[in-house]
Amino acid sequence: MEMILKVLIGFIALIHVLFLIVQMFFWNTDFVQKRIVGDFTPEQISAILAQNQGLYNGFIAAGLIWGLFISQFPQVEPSWIWIFFLICVAIAGIFGSITLKRPTAFLIQSIPAILALFLLWYPHF
């Protein structure tokens, strides 16, 4: 049963890596535009993409809240959960600032995440 679970999780991870590749590098190709964008107007597809981004931000928030919640239980070490999601936030902020060509996302997302990472790692130096 454990092997099936691991294979399934690996398959799900692979699918999401493929989504990442398509969305980041092949979005503007005719192949993707015809299959994903289809007959949506630019406004409709923009709203859909914004909803997707909102959902992903919700996942990041959920992971950080999860880390806060499990920190109340001494047998569970939440720092690895926090580290993972904080790195995600930092990368998202850097990427957002590059694509928006403004430092806003870096200032709002990356700097607080980097600060929190520093605070997590500081006691270990």
pLDDT digits (tens, 9 = 90+) for 40-71: 899 988 988 898 899 889 999 999 998 888 87
Q: Over range 21-48, report the average pLDDT.
A: 89
Contact assessment for residue 93 and residue 108, using Cβ atoms and an 8 Å cutoff: yes
Please, what is the average pLDDT of the chain?
88
Q: Which domain holds residue 53?
A: 41-125
Q: Are residues 84 and 119 in the same domain?
A: yes
Q: Over range 76-93, report the average pLDDT.
A: 87
Q: Are residues 27 and 87 in the same domain?
A: no
Neighbours of 53 (CB within 10 A): 12
Q: How many domains does the chain have?
A: 2
The residue ranking higher by pLDDT, 107 or 6, is 107
Q: What is the pLDDT of residue 125?
A: 67
Q: How far is CA 56 from CA 53, 92, 99, 119, 123, in A?
A: 5, 10, 17, 25, 30
* % of the chain with per-residue pLDDT over 70: 98
